[in-house]
Amino acid sequence: MFKNSFFKNKGPVSLKLIFDTCNLSSNINDNKIKLYDVKNLDLSTNKDITFFHSVKYKDQAKLTKAKFCITTNNLYKFLPNSCEPILVDNVLLSLAKVTKLFYPTSAIDNFKLNLKKIKKSFIKKNNLHIGDNVLVGKNVLIGKKSSIGNNTIIEDNVIIGSNCSIGSNVILRSTILKNNVHILDGCIVGKKGFGFFPYKNENFRYPHIGCVVINENSEIGSGCTIDRGSLSDTIIGKNTFFDNQIHIAHNVKIGDNCIIAGQVGIAGSSIIGNNVMIGGQAGISGHLKIGNNVRIGGGSGVIKNIPDNTKVMGYPATEIKKFLKEMKIKND
């Protein structure tokens, strides 16, 4: 994960304030204990607080270096002795409250009003090609020989590498593009994800403080939407190509050399390996692992992990030989 330049960390935060915010009492001398950030299990240090809400992440929980962990009575047994559990009824609700202590602006996703046109001297110096009505925010970096189409918006702190092309009517927020990345017309990259959870007949949104990273030599087709991560980043690998109208949810990690056809949807926190091909209109559920060299047929619905070198199709997606055999039986 890159150092967060998109949301300002207000830490350190006292453990007492964290307990008070979560409406908890503590026997720990929490006035003097300070925590510096909130992070995922695998990224935390002994100065951070983390969270553990699903047994799917027990392996990461066992290895976490976090000082404190927001979790439940059923899960804290997986934590190492060095990590003190903070037991709550609803982990995600408490996480949302704690994240806002460190990043109070993370729940805000309003349009930036301080955007300006790029100076002509900068355009000439860096050999840029800039269309009409292009607006950029503060601290934006644009590499040499890049081009930006008409009516595109580049918001604060976005980084665009060299030899990139950004189409018309694109919005980039909380985004890092490496060299030679191509974003086609109408894409929206880096907006907050669809992170909701129900609690007592209400829906709550938890903050998204991550960003989107698109690595070298990749292309994003027209009309795609890529959400920024919640606590970690949404990452697109090298030499990966998207067709049009694809949606990538928060925290998704896509490997190198992947090809994804139109109208595919990948739900939050799923991990896609290298050299994966996904057919049009396939859907992949959240928190799954898709191995290297996997092939997913068009229109498939993936609801479980897929190992390396596997071909699947159908709903629910099954190994393709099994799928074809079942289809033959149905048609006989």
Whole-model pTM: value is 0.92
Residue 2 has pLDDT above 50, yes or no: no
Residue 262 has pLDDT above 90, yes or no: yes
- Kindly list the strands in the beta sheet with 68-71, ordered across the sheet, starting from the edge strand earlier in the chain: 37-38, 48-51, 68-71, 84-87
Q: How far are the Cα atoms of 10, 234, 319 from residue 295, in angstroms, in the given order?
A: 44, 22, 10
Query: What string of DSSP letters covers 217-281?
Result: T-EE-TT-EEPPPSSS-EEE-TT-EE-SS-EE-TT-EE-SS-EE-TT-EE-TT-EE-SS-EE-TT
pLDDT category of residue 27 using cuts at 50, 70 and 90 = low
Residue 291 has pLDDT above 60, yes or no: yes
Whole-number Å distance between alpha carbons of 148 and 158:
13
pLDDT tens string 103-127: 988 767 766 667 888 888 888 889 9
Average pLDDT of the chain, as a whole number: 92
What three-state secondary structure class fits 48? strand
Q: How far are the Cα atoms of 56, 137, 166, 233 from residue 265, in angstroms, in the given order?
A: 22, 30, 22, 18
Report H helices in 46-194.
58-63, 91-102, 120-125
Res 1: pLDDT = 43
Q: Which two three-digit tokens encode residue 55?
A: 């047994």
pLDDT category of residue 205 using cuts at 50, 70 and 90 = confident
Pairing of strands 277-278, 259-260: parallel
Q: Which two three-digit tokens encode residue 45?
A: 């240090």
- Give catalytic residue positions: 250
Structural domains of the chain in order of their starting residue, each with its CATH number: 13-102 (3.40.1390.10), 120-330 (2.160.10.10)
Whole-number Å distance between alpha carbons of 324 and 309:
18
CA-based Rg of the chain, rounded to a whole angstrom?
22
Q: Which two three-digit tokens encode residue 214?
A: 């698109």
Res 105: pLDDT = 80
Mean pLDDT of 151-171: 97
Instruction: Please tell me which residue, 134 or 108, carries the higher pLDDT value.
Output: 134
